[in-house]
Structure formats: C-alpha cells, structure tokens
Chains A and B, each alone.
Chain A
Amino acid sequence: MSTAELPIAPLGLGRAALPRIVGSPVERIDAVEKVTGRAVYAADSRLPRMLHGAVVRSPHACARIISIDTSRAERLPGVHTVVTGADTARVKWGAFRPDLYPLAIGRVRYVGDEVAAVAARDPETARRAAELIHVEYEVLPAVLSLDEALAEGAPLVHDDAPGNVAHEFGFDRGGVEAWFDRSDVVVEGTWQSERQWHGSIETIGCTAEWTRDRVSLWVNTQTPFLARQRYATALGLPLRAVRVVQTEVGGGFGGKSGDDNTSVICALLARRAGRPVQLVNTREEEFLASRPRIPMRYTVRLGFTEDGLVTAKDIEVVADNGAYTGKAQAVLGAATVRHDALFNYRAVRAHSRLIYTNLEPTGAFRGFGNPSADWAVGQAWDLAAARLGIDVPDLFLLNAVESGSVSPHNHKITSCELKQCIRRAAQAIGWQAKRAERTPHRGLAMGVSVHVSGRRSFGDYDGSSAIVRLTEDGRATVIVGEGEIGTGARTTLAQIAAAELGIPVADVSVPRPDTDLTTHALGALASRVTYVAGNAVQRAAQQACERLLDAAARQLDRPAAQLWVEDGTVHGPAGPDGEGPVSAPVGAVVRAELYRPGGEPIVGLGSFDNPSEFPDGSRYGNESGAYNFVAEAAEVEVDPATGAVRVLELAAVADCGTVLNPPLAEGQVEGAIAQGLGMALTERFHWQEGAPVRPNFSDYKLPTAGVMPKLHIGFADSYEPTGPFGAKGVGEIALDPVPSIIASAVADAVGVRVHELPITAEKIYWGMRNGEPGAAVPVTSAPAVPAVQDPSPPAGADRAGQEGDPR
C-alpha cells in the first residue's frame, strides 16, 4: 500500500505558501561528477612530490613500550621518514576528555593503538617499512570486557580514571519510586548492544602539506572546523597553523568526525619529510582503529497504570568506552535522555557510566546513542504492551508526545506529528489485516523514535552562518562551511538559496568547506545541516535578494517593493508614466551595480543559532530547537528449522517537517533502515584477545540489496515553525528503532526474545529449543545475555484476541 494514497487531515498550521522549488525532486548538484568518477575523494588527491604513509599499530591490548627500533625501516630504499611518539608534542587530545596521544607514549591500550608511522615513495614501500619497525613490548594485564573493567582491583586503562570510569552522571526527575509504587504493571529487563562499524565504503584518509609553519590538511571529514581545533591541539600548534579542507566524503555516519589519529599522524609525517604525505586507512585499520558504535548494557524498568498510561522509567546504563573517549560521553548522554522526549513520562531516573576497557575506542555513529536506547527501552515497551493486553500502536498513541509537550529534561517539542506517523505506519504495513489473519512463524512489530535537529554540545553555540554572493554572470555562490558527506546537503542548501533568490538551482554553487575561506560551521552531525544551516542560508539569500532588488530599483526606476525575481530575471510592472513592464537579468543588475563610481558587490550574510539550551551536567536542558520523529513497523518470517530471520516488509513514516527534496529525504530513511537492519541482524565480529578476527568485509556483513525488505516510505504532513520553509532534520532517525522492531517481531513470530545484538539465527534457534542461550561465542564485552522465552504467549490464537485498532 502506498502511504501517499492515505487521506491526510488538514493540519491548519497557517504555513505560508511554499515556493515551487521547495519539495520538488531537484537533481543533486554533485551527481554528474560522482557517476563519472571525477569527484575527488581523500585517496584521489595528488600533490607534487607526494609521499604515502603507513602506520605501525599495537598487537597487544595493553603493554608497556620498552623500545622502538626504526633503523631497518629507515634504511629501506624509498623510505623518507619515520615518526614515533618522541616526535610529537606529547599532548593528549579528545573532544571532551583528552586522553589520546597522536602516537603512543610509553604505553599502548588496545589492539590497533598507533605506535609509529612511515612515509615512503609509494604505499607498498611504506607498508613494508612499517613491518620492519621493531617494537619491544612488556605485555600487561588487560581488561577485555565491561565486567573485567568493573571488577574489584581491575587493572586501570588510564591511571587518572579510578575504577576505569571515564564519565558518570545520573538524575531522578519527578521521583520514580513513588510513581512505581502507584504503578499497576512494571516491566524490567537488560539488553546489550554491540560495536557496530560505520562501514563507509571510503575509509578515513588525509593528505597533508606544510608551507613554512602552517599545515594544510585535505581530509574526508564531516566536521572540518571542529576537527581543525582538535588537530591543532594534538599537534601542539596554535589554531592558525592548521587549515582543513574537506575532500569529497565517501560516507560518514559519524565515523569521520575527527576523533581518530589518522590526520594528525599524516601531518607529523609531512612535517618531518618536508614533502606532502597521503595517509589512508586500509579496511583492516578502519575496523581496528576507527570509532565504532558504543556497546551498551542497558537495564530498563518501566511502570504503567492498568489502563496503559506510562508512569516511570528507571535506567542503568553501562557503556564500553574502549581505550579512549572521543565523543563517547556525549553519545552516552544522548542514549540516556533523548528517549524521554518520546513519551509522557511522569518521572525518570538514570545512572549512566562510561567505562574504559582495553578494546577499540568507540564514538559517534548515526543515531548517537539513540539506537542502543531504543533497542532496550523499545523492548521494555513491547513487553509492557503484552502485559497490559494493549496492542503496541495503541499503547504508543496513548502515551506519545505532541506539539507543545515538554520532556522531564526540558525538551520543548515544537512541531510533532508522532501520532500521525504511528497511524500511517500501521496502515502502510497493513497492521489490522495482518493481526486479523496470522501466518505461522511470521511476526509483526512497531517502534518509534525521536531525534534532534542539531544539538548544543560543543560549547554554547549550535549555529551556522552563510554568505550568498550574487555573481556578475547571474549565478549565486553559497559560502557555508557545513560541507557534504553524501546526504545531499549541498543540494538542499542550493535549493533553499534558489527558492529565495528566484534563480534556477543549477545556477547555485556551494563550494566545499575550507577553514581559510568558508564560514565557520560545526559540520554534518546531529541531523543539523538542513535545519540550522538551512536557516542561515535562507537568511543570507533573503538579504542578497533585498540588495539585488534595491539595485534593480535604481537601475529600472521602479520601487523595490514592486520588483520580483523569476527564473534568473528581475521583473517590474509598468510605470506610472505608462512605460511598459521592465526586466533585467540578475547578472546584468549585479554587473551594473559594480561597474559605476563607488560600485559594490551584491552579497547577503545570514546567521542562525539553534534556539536551544546547553544542557547541564545532569543533561537537563532543551538540547535542540526542533525534534524529528519516526514510526516504523515491520513484518518478519522466522525459519523454524534454522532460526533464520527474513524481514519481509518495513514501513516507515517520518516527521521531518517540510520535505525539501523528496528523493533525498527518502534516501536518508532508506539508507538508515538498511544500517539498522545490519545492526539488528548481521553486523558483528568474532573476537580473540581483544581484537576482531579477520577485520574485513569477509567477516563483517553489511546488508546487500538481496536482504532488503520491501520498504514503504512516507513523510508526515508536518511543518516546523522555526525551520527553513518548515523543515527539520532527517539524517539519522530512521535507523534508531530498527533493532528493537526486529527483536519484537521475532518474539511475535516464535516467542523468543533475544537480549543481545545482533539477532542471529543461532540465538533464535537455541531460544526456540528450551530457551537456552546460543552457543558460546566470544563477544566484545559483557557475558552473553541469553535469549529467553517470552513470558507472553507465543504467536498464535492466544494473542489474536488482544489486537486493537490502531487509531
């Protein structure tokens, strides 16, 4: 069923008529360079005399470095330089908790930790030289799981983190125990998420070149300006000594947001070699030493009244930081509070800890903690629905937030069509029909999520600014530092500018970020660019358009208020003296404004700061100016002989305000669902001695076209009053509820509820046979939480009588 065919009630939001270009499927401005292979990604940059780098990494999870002998590597023909920790500023760096050296000093803390690096004439020589560097280690006891790290007297990963606690916080808002006392139904459980890798097909890479005392870095980073600050710290340099330019970015998903050492090492190599150096991660390095999703052991307790109103939520979260912190503490913050902007909880309590282990450091990944939270809390809601005898969509509708709601953490919900999303997702999957006629071994489930449109994290600013310059050839250049990681952000921003200016999108260019040239920007994170930068670009374009019309008014001898721009031409009505309508191409107006005594360019400046609050230490504060929502429903089929899961259909309806470019917005939802399915079903490694065995795509299975279910994608009729043309973010949200939905659908199909991701056939197989856990397989952290038989009745007639009407 196409959701587009469903009747939508008029919302009466009083929105202004939108320009034609808004909501139209405008072609990506970068499509041709990408299909022809001409787009220049990190590894495609070529500088004269450029060398290639390779990194020596620790084979031990924890060890003291006794000595490093680089002499054999240095003697290899073609090798230009070798660097070790001794060649660095010996400064620790990190987004929130500086704990990472560019190259190890004295000690290594995980398998993959950077110890030394080489620059040579070609990548092969560099790699061979790296193998010739001999590092003598004294292997030390390592903590290879959360339980080992938390044990009494456990070895410390960092001496300044007693108990291996990297970060800890908590709150009790509203007094949960009193609310639990008044609850009729309480459900509880523990759910464990797993390291998930971004799996961008392009790995992290950098090209560095020094000119005197300044380094230029061409990096495939999502956040050029934030990365620049951190790289300067890591190099022990003043900010002005570092310039970052964004190359084409072959996928980001949080993994290219500047928390790893690759660019820093590249800069160190280039300085010592006196020549440009390119350093690109191999796929193995990307799996060993990037910053994957944080595994969380998430215990949740929920209370409800007998008629299904949620009362209290109490959570205990223990998160595996790995050896270094990066953005993990902010991710844990989001995982702890964000969900509470979804339902009308009367009281919420949390205790969250980020724990150092001698495992690969973790960090930001699309969803930013939400997927781990939604996985656990979503499971508890699903259990509660069964206990209450209320169908899941009905239970969601009873408790969902709406426009005007305020969460216990002061999330102020402006626009919210969550209830519309729930109803339409249920309709799109055919919820009622499927509930009425159950098929053996098939299960149905629904999940919901909330996400931000920008988040105030990096100081008390989550803004953006833009300059729109009209050119004498009638085009516009939008100068904004946010960049492009594949989502189509530059196209959307071009569309916003074109809509305000009255020129074709094809006449708008959006250059890539360069910290020397473009406006300051926080970059592509937190689903912020469309909302935050879109507002800045809109304002800049409005100002440029006003100046254009002022100039045209003088040139055409008509009042500016009577002029308008259409398809690249300024038009005016007939004059009072009876002279006919007037017009002039935009370029001619710009040129005439320049070429006169005292001539001036036509430029607009726009600025917007997210109307949000910087959360305090307990994460209280309205972290974003606009929240986006999604409801998704899926049907799965479980093979009773093997436990294998096939996802048959998945419906998603997202509330992202006005959809500026439908194919681009659909692409975000479709791609996020695919990543969610990977997280739910297949993405994991087998581990040995603190490292993934065979760290490549041979063992780590991304979803392919063949495993994708039939998707029904829809968007809520919604308008965000503070957004550009009513738009909000949409980049992350559709991933968030997927693992929980698949787990609930499996439980609905065969009565087995898996408590540890991913939901493999093996776990279901053993769960179906006497509720035993899956065969013992080493996992990154925490003992296996067994798959258990649901306390609720298994699939079949027992439940059919409980199905409600998804209103």
Chain B
Amino acid sequence: MTDTTTHRPGDTAAGGHRTAPATQCAAQPGTAPGTAPRAGTSTAVPLRFRLNGEDVEVHVQDPAAPLLDVLRHDLGLTGTKSGCAIGYCGACTVIVDGAAVPSCLQMAGLVEGRDVRTVEGLEGPGGLDPVQEAFVARAGLQCGFCTPGHVMALRALLDADPEPDEERIREVVDGNYCRCTGYVKILDSAREAVARQKTAPTTEEER
C-alpha cells in the first residue's frame, strides 16, 4: 500500500477537497490499477479474482492481509468501510461467492479465483439496486458509514431468498451495527427492499 496505489475521486463538489486524478477502479482484465509491484517489494504475489463482474489482478505483499485492505488501499474501492477490524460491526461486509462476509476477517489470498462483490458493484434498473433504493426511500441511513455493509448483507440475503420472512430480515439486520438510527428505519428499508425486489428484475437476471 504505497502512494502509487489507486486514487479515487474525492468530494470535489462539496468543499474543494483536492484529490489525485481519478483512475478506473473496476478495471479491464489485466489492466487493473494498483497491479504494479511496489518499489522494492519484489516479494509481492499476484492475486486474481472476479470483482464486481470484472476479472482483476492485484499484487499483494501479504496474502494473509485482510481483503478489506486490498479493496480499500490497493484497488481504491473505499465504499467498503472499516469499523472495528475484528469482525463485529459489519461495516466491511462484502459478498464472496454469494455469501456476506466481513472483509476485515477474509484473508485476501483466499479469494483467488472467487467472485467478490462490493457496494461499488451494485446496480439496478433505475441505476440503484433495489436495496439501495429502499434505503433512500425509507430514510434508512443517517451518517451513512454502516450503510454499505447493511446494503451488502441484505443484497446477499435477497439473492439467496427473494422473499425472506420478518424473522430472517431481523436476523440479518441484527448482524450489523448502526449507531445512528436505532434500526427502525433500516428494518423499514429492508422490508421495502423485499417489496421492490418483487416488482423489479433482479440484478442476477440483468447480467
């Protein structure tokens, strides 16, 4: 994780935070940014996996490093958040081969050849995934820091079970911390997402 890694666009519209020139994050196969071995780190090993529908290759110094760090620092995908680094808070939730996992506990080397989805990879007919639309419509967020984790956990749920019952919804929301909302509107959003999923084609079908 050197200063040669990918940069992502900053908050330029809202206060003039100067950022480095943006480069493509979800890159074409074989041309992913951040793949160049670091200066003086000839021991870096290549890691290839499918990320948000694209094949990527990244050179990591330590295959035992958390996937979270590789996503955020090497690949510049900062939508996935770090809240505790010990797998408790759920802010870093991503989907690996269909399962919601805390990326802070997922060894990067073990996603070799697997399918990883992050919040940056979500999309839907109107631009947003139905889960994201639901959080917008039902005010399911405040500070928004835990939101990508909640969204990914619910995306994984709906992919596995498009019509989960109330108990299952609560079980999934119960797995992620939120310090702002008291969960009322996150649960509303989850129920809304189920309803929207029924009326919209799933992202799987779109692919």
Contacts and interface: CB of A to CB of B under 8 A. Distances in A.
Given A28-B141, A201-B177, A36 B122 contact: yes
B128 A35 contact: yes
B136 A27 contact: yes
B43 interface: no
A48 B19 CA distance: 7
A698 B105 CA distance: 14
Contacts of B119: 35-37
Interface string A450-492: 0000000000000000000000000000000000011110000
Given A34-B147, A36-B119, A218-B17, A41 B84 contact: no
Interface string B1-32: 11100011011011111111000000000000
B184 A708 contact: yes
Interface stretch (B73-81, B106-114, B156-164, B198-206): B73-81
B174 A514 contact: no
Contacts of B122: 36
B179 A675 contact: yes
Nearest to B142: A486
A282 B84 CA distance: 7
Interface string A16-57: 000000000101101111111111110111111111100000
A251 interface: yes
Contacts of B184: 666-667, 670, 708, 711
Given A27-B137, A708-B182, A488 B84 contact: no
Contacts of A36: 79, 119-120, 122, 128, 132
B95 interface: no
Contact of A283 (B79, B85, B141, B144): B85
Interface residues of A, number: 80
Interface in B118-175: 118-120, 122, 128, 132, 135-139, 141-148, 151, 170-171, 173-175
A705 interface: yes
Contacts of A411: none
A250 B144 contact: yes
Interface residues of B, number: 70
Give chain A's interface secondary structure class: loop
Interface in A317-349: none
A732 interface: no
A517 interface: yes
Nearest to A677: B182
A36 B147 CA distance: 9
A705 B170 contact: yes
A488 B182 CA distance: 15
Contact of A705 (B73, B78, B186): B186
Contacts of B171: 706
Contacts of A78: 2
Contacts of A32: 128, 132, 136
Given A31-B136, A36-B132, A43 B82 contact: yes
B187 interface: yes
Interface stretch (A67-75, A119-127, A553-561, A744-752): A119-127
A511 B15 contact: yes
A514 B18 CA distance: 12
A122 B91 contact: no
A406 B7 CA distance: 57
A704 B183 contact: yes
A44 B79 CA distance: 8
Interface in A185-212: 198-203, 209
Contacts of A509: 13
Given A121-B1, A253-B179, A697-B88, A37 B141 contact: no
Contacts of B187: 705
B146 A514 contact: no
Interface string B37-78: 000100000000000000000000000010001001100111
Contacts of B77: 37
* Most B C-beta atoms less than 10 A away, residue of A28, A46, A123, A509: A46
Given A35-B141, A251-B142, A674-B183, 10 more contacts: A46-B78, A200-B145, A201-B81, A202-B83, A667-B181, A697-B83, A697-B88, A697-B177, A698-B88, A704-B177
What are the nearest 9 A-B pairs in CB distance?
A37-B79, A486-B143, A34-B144, A250-B145, A670-B182, A122-B1, A674-B182, A663-B139, A512-B15
Interface of B: 1-3, 7-8, 10-11, 13-20, 40, 65, 69, 72-73, 76-86, 88-89, 91, 118-120, 122, 128, 132, 135-139, 141-148, 151, 170-171, 173-175, 177-187
29 contacts: A31-B135, A34-B141, A35-B144, A35-B148, A36-B119, A41-B78, A41-B145, A43-B78, A47-B19, A48-B20, A121-B1, A122-B2, A198-B179, A201-B81, A245-B17, A248-B11, A248-B144, A250-B144, A250-B145, A509-B13, A512-B14, A667-B181, A670-B182, A674-B182, A704-B177, A704-B183, A705-B170, A705-B186, A706-B171
